[in-house]
Amino acid sequence: MKDCAPIMFAVAFFGMLFGATGLNNGLTFWQTVASSASVFAGASQFVFLELYNQQVPVWVVLLTVFAVNFRHFLYSASISRHIRHFSWFQKYIGFFFLSDPAFAAGEQRAEKQGLTPAYYFGYAGSLYPIWLSVTALGAYMGNLITNPNALGMDMLLSIYFLSLLMGFRSRANWLTVVLVSGVVSALVYKWIGAPWHITLGALAGIVLAAVIGKPANQEKRSDEHA
């Protein structure tokens, strides 16, 4: 699947970094791999490591993971419009694999030619074994990557997400939504802090889209579902 190629790089780097970080934060090899297997969401896995290591109460760990992952709630709401033809089983298995890249790829595919279970599981499902193997590799090899910032690892996902963001630029009110979400998110990031800038910033743009949304979109959407 050529659509998968760019994210493979990012997944490989981050999985290895997570594997090495897991062992540095007091997890065993199998506990580190189990995190990737059970959660399959990079950012919240790093947050979990950090909080576990800081000896924070379990309920705070779980609430923080929920806050970091709240954007997925919006993903499953949005993608639900494109997976009506999936079986019950395909939907509920599919949600487990609904990562950031899987959501973006699914939405873009749905726009162009409709989203089939084969495409969704081919894309989203193939990232899972890779994420597990690179986590294991990173945990096994340890601190092979001594200076992740010199390799620009902190910028890797942001640049990738930027290219995903630009892929949606033909959508109605895209620029307005992005600007409003961006400004609100930046203010929240400065004054309240992470991870609230994600949820609050995103909600600002989404609410705006609902307010300024024109019924013209509706005709286009109902054709798609016919």
Determine contact, residues 4/10, Cβ cutoff 8 Å. Answer: no
Closest CB to another protein among residues 26, 114: 26
- Candidates 113-121, 132-140, 199-207 — which segment interacts with another protein by CB under 8 A? 199-207
- Candidates 115-123, 127-135, 137-145, 192-200 — which segment interacts with another protein by CB under 8 A? 192-200
CB of 127 to another protein, least distance (A): 14
Distance separating alpha carbons of residues 40 and 97, to the nearest angstrom: 7
Distance separating alpha carbons of residues 129 and 146, to the nearest angstrom: 25
- Candidates 38-46, 114-122, 126-134, 137-145 — which segment interacts with another protein by CB under 8 A? 38-46
- Does 182 bind another protein (CB under 8 A)? Our answer is yes
Q: What is the DSSP letter of 86?
A: S
Distance separating alpha carbons of residues 153 and 147, to the nearest angstrom: 9
The site for another protein, by CB under 8 A, has a size of: 103
83-122: which residues touch another protein (CB under 8 A)? 91-92, 95-96, 98, 100, 103-104, 107
Q: Is 147 left (phi over 0), alpha (psi -120 to 50) or beta?
A: beta
Q: Residue for token digits 């895209």?
A: 174
Closest CB to another protein among residues 20, 42: 42
Distance separating alpha carbons of residues 28 and 26, to the nearest angstrom: 7
Q: Helix, strand, or coil here: 30?
A: helix
- Candidates 48-56, 113-121, 133-141 — which segment interacts with another protein by CB under 8 A? 48-56
Residue of 12, 24, 39, 122 interacting with another protein (CB under 8 A): 39
Determine contact, residues 143/167, Cβ cutoff 8 Å. Answer: no
Residue of 113, 146, 150, 223 interacting with another protein (CB under 8 A): 150
Site string for another protein, 56-75 (x = CB under 8 A): xxxx-xx--xx--xxxxxxx
- Does 215 bind another protein (CB under 8 A)? Our answer is yes
- Does 132 bind another protein (CB under 8 A)? Our answer is no
Determine contact, residues 193/132, Cβ cutoff 8 Å. Answer: no
Distance separating alpha carbons of residues 134 and 93, to the nearest angstrom: 22
- Does 21 bind another protein (CB under 8 A)? Our answer is no
